[in-house]
Structure formats: C-alpha cells, structure tokens
Structure 1
C-alpha cells in the first residue's frame, strides 16, 4: 500500500521490505537481510544513490521487527487508508418497496445476502428530500432552492458490507 502525504507518494515499511502485511517475522527478517545487503553503502560504489534506500530499509526493520511497534504501525496504516465504498447495485426510487406505518414510510430493497437496504421518509427528510404520494406513485421533491435533476444516496445493507446507490429523480 502506498501512502499519500505532502503531495507525494511514499512507500510503507512493507513495500520497502517487499513483504505482505501478513508476513511472518521470519519472512520479514529474510527480506530485510536481502534488502540491507543490496543497499549497504559500504558494498556499493555509488553511496549517495543508495543511502536513502539503506536508511529506509533500516527504519522498516526497526518498526516491523518489534511486535508492539508493528502493531501500532499497522493501526496507523488502517487509519490512514482511504475508505472504499463498494456499491453492489444502482437502484431507482421506483424499484423500492414502500411500507407505511402511521405517518412514517419505509423504502426498502432486497440485498443478495437476504437482508434489506432501507431508508425512512424521516431520514430522507433530514437529507432534504420530501416524499409525496401521487396516485400510488411515490415521488421526491427537493426542499431547498437548489434545483437538480437527480440525486444519489448510498444505503448500507442491514447485515453485510454491501451498499446500493439509490438514484432519486427529483420533481421540478
């Protein structure tokens, strides 16, 4: 994994030692030995070119060889990794089932895991959308002055990690 920082991309300690994040201590040690030999300034004619690489290898070994330091480093990596939304499907408002309980309407769509994606009329209202029933057809109006043709909302499944993109065509 590469980390972005200060308008540059830098390698992780795992990248420097060319090992996976789930590598064992023995794998890390073997990779460290090979990397340190190939970048050691005393063995190379062009010292200045490889000095940075040598220092990176040393730092990577320092962190990854200590179980506590590695655990902290892994936690920092997870925290700095960008979150990726996996969108399982794109669903239009008309495709969702509508159930009414008193004044609250719940729109839902079946996930492939068997559970459902759902959103209530109250949640949509908090996002700036108003549901209205016109002859049995549910439509949405945008509550602010900004006029848009359509909008999208990501809805998580109740059980699994999948999400759908709910496409809402707005009434003008």
Structure 2
C-alpha cells in the first residue's frame, strides 16, 4: 500500500472520498472495461501500453478502496498527508492525463468550475532540472502546484522523471 499511498486513489477512479462502495464499484467497472488489455489489443503499442498501465492503476485503487479496513487506513493516511501540506490541494493530476495544446506549448486540465489548470512545458523542464540539481535522485516523481484560472482550487500536477523527456514536445 506504500506505492498506492503516493497517488490519490479516488482520483484514479474519478470519484470522491464521500462516494459509497457501490458508486466506487460502478466507476471501477466502467474504467476496467475502458482500459482492459483485451479491448486494446488491436491498437498501437503505445496506446495499448498506456491502457495496461491505466488498467493496473485502476485495479490497484479498487482493491484498496473496496475493502472497508484498507479504505479506512488509506483515508487516514491521505488525511495525514493533506494536513502536512503547506498549500490546499484539491487533487493530484498526472501530466500524462492532461491535454497538450501544441499552439501554446502547455498542458491543460479542466476544473470542475469550468475554468482550467495549465502548466507550461518550460515549468515542467525547470522543475525537473531543479530537482536534479538539488540531488533529489531518490524521488521518482516530480510535480508542481497549479491554481485554477477561474476559482480558488489548486491541483498537484505530477510526472515521472523517466517519462518527462518523452513528453516534452515543443523543442
């Protein structure tokens, strides 16, 4: 459960912590069907690979959140992490799940208020380089807090150090 504790399992399922087990199960079933490797077999290898990764992530989240004991333990750990943060963060968003805007060279993500979050390719590069210079090699994931352009919500945008170079597109 240590690895899963880094991710917001509710966000993985597209749910909230107030959802019932039945609501979580419904969301899990929808995502499992969408990303199941058997359904993605005929598509391109990168899409199929992403689908398998997403399917495994959804399945791991469901295993923890479907059991009352592990869900309670996860909720307590999640709350403890939130209390230690210096900023209010609504959720975690993965860079690979954001929409790429080729014209502006930014990644965007829609906010529930109708506004949006955006992070530039430059910000991603700078944060990755800063962390490398600070000799934080043990951290596999990088991230920044991004505020909505319309409301007061903010999200933590994170990415894997190993996939950053593959994702940067404006060079």
TM interval, shorter chain, is 0.3 to 0.5
Higher strand share: 1
Pick 1 or 2: higher relative contact order, CA cutoff 8 A, min separation 6. Answer: 2
TM-score by length of 1: 0.42
Larger Rg, first or second structure (1 or 2): 1
Higher helix share: 2
TM-score by length of 2: 0.42
